[in-house]
Amino acid sequence: MVRTRFCDVFGVEHPIVQGGMQWVGRAELVAAVANAGALGFLTALTQPTPEDLAKEIARCREMTDKPFGVNLTILPSINPPPYAEYRDVIVESGVPVVETAGFNPAEHLPTFQGGGVKVLHKCTSVRHAVKAQELGVDGISIDGFECAGHPGEDDIPGLVLIPAAAERIDIPMIASGGFGDARGLVAALALGADGINMGTRFVATQEAPVHENVKRRMVEATERDTELIFRPLRNTARVASNTVSREVVSILDGGGGFEDVRDLVAGNRGRTKVLEEGDIDGGIWSAGMVQGLIHDVPTVAELVRRIADEADELIRARLAGLVN
């Protein structure tokens, strides 16, 4: 079985992470990931208030006695959520690890560190990874251009980004973006990472709390079926290609501004129409290029087991057989 220093530092069996996912990172999925021996993150801002996050953490604890974490995504916003209050709930609830993302975590680090919460910081560039390491985080999760959600503006795919980061990062580092199977895990290790983070692949599992149509669409989709929205606004997001995301790209490419797409991209629209009601053309939903490698909707346990077993086989049989 593949075991790395990530497993030792973060207290998990497999070097596999389920990153924070707005509307998807709820107790059902995170507990299944934890029970499978991987590291799952509840998504703080999926919960409408910090009190609801405390309840969701408690609900997750009822479903697993294994460690799990909380993702705190800090994004620029006109009316920011009460980040400090969410952060305090994370610390007070005794969760062992937080995944910070979206912004420099400096403001929140002293509270996490004082509360004994390990910090896995997710970022999309080598310079931000180096900065976070200097700030004293416990691990880095680095997202290549392939990823669902926000890939940043540098457009560096994992094949270059991960080894470039590995040259500068000494703490445990997780490769993210485009990973979905054992081949990805073994490749990430070869590139210098200590494990993988997956978002899209975990959406297409039995336990993910999203409509069956979304999972089926992921199985049908190819690696070409994503769109990059908000490019002209320099706030790029990779989402599933559908009538709404293609319209957003066309409006912004045609010189439109955020006001012109505000209704189309509304988070609640994607959440209710797509993720809950199953209308895959009803709004925006995050998905990565790895859709092209997703061919089934297994349970989380089956998925993690399969990746662990096949990685073992790939290293021992195929790779070891290539050297003499």
Ligand X SMILES: Cc1cc2nc3c(=O)[nH]c(=O)nc-3n(C[C@H](O)[C@H](O)[C@H](O)COP(=O)(O)O)c2cc1C
Nearer to ligand X among residue 47 and residue 73 (C-beta): 73
Position with the least CB separation from ligand X: 199
What is the spatial distance between Cα 238 and Cα 240, in angstroms, rounded to a whole number? 7
Residues 179-208 that bind ligand X (CB under 6 A): 179, 197-201, 203
Count Cβ neighbours within 10 Å for each residue of 9-37 and write b for 16 or more, e otherwise.
bbebebbbbbbbbbbbbbbbbbbbbbbbb
Rule CB under 6 A: say whether 165 interacts with ligand X. no
Question: Does an H or E element contain 184, and which?
Answer: helix 182-191
Q: Find how far residue 139's CA is from the centre of its chain.
A: 14
What is the spatial distance between Cα 85 and Cα 90, in angstroms, rounded to a whole number? 9
Contact code string over 12-51 relative to ligand X, x by CB under 6 A: -------xxxx-x------------------x--------
Rule CB under 6 A: say whether 119 interacts with ligand X. no
Span interacting with ligand X, options 155-163, 226-234, 286-294, 310-318, rule CB under 6 A: 286-294
Rule CB under 6 A: say whether 177 interacts with ligand X. yes
Residues 60-79 that bind ligand X (CB under 6 A): 71, 73
Measured from the CB of residue 300, what is the shortest distance to ligand X in angstroms? 14
Select the residue interacting with ligand X from 57, 60, 101, 280 (CB under 6 A). 101
What is the spatial distance between Cα 95 and Cα 67, in angstroms, rounded to a whole number? 8
From the list 119, 148, 116, the residue with the least C-alpha distance to 133 is 119
Site size toward ligand X (CB under 6 A) is 29
Return phi, psi of residue 313, to 5°: -60, -45
Nearer to ligand X among residue 98 and residue 148 (C-beta): 148
Nearer to ligand X among residue 35 and residue 124 (C-beta): 124
Measured from the CB of residue 136, what is the shortest distance to ligand X in angstroms? 20
From the list 231, 243, 222, 233, the residue with the least C-alpha distance to 287 is 222
Q: Give the binding site for ligand X (CB under 6 A).
A: 19-22, 24, 43, 71, 73, 101, 122, 143, 146-149, 176-179, 197-201, 203, 286-288, 290
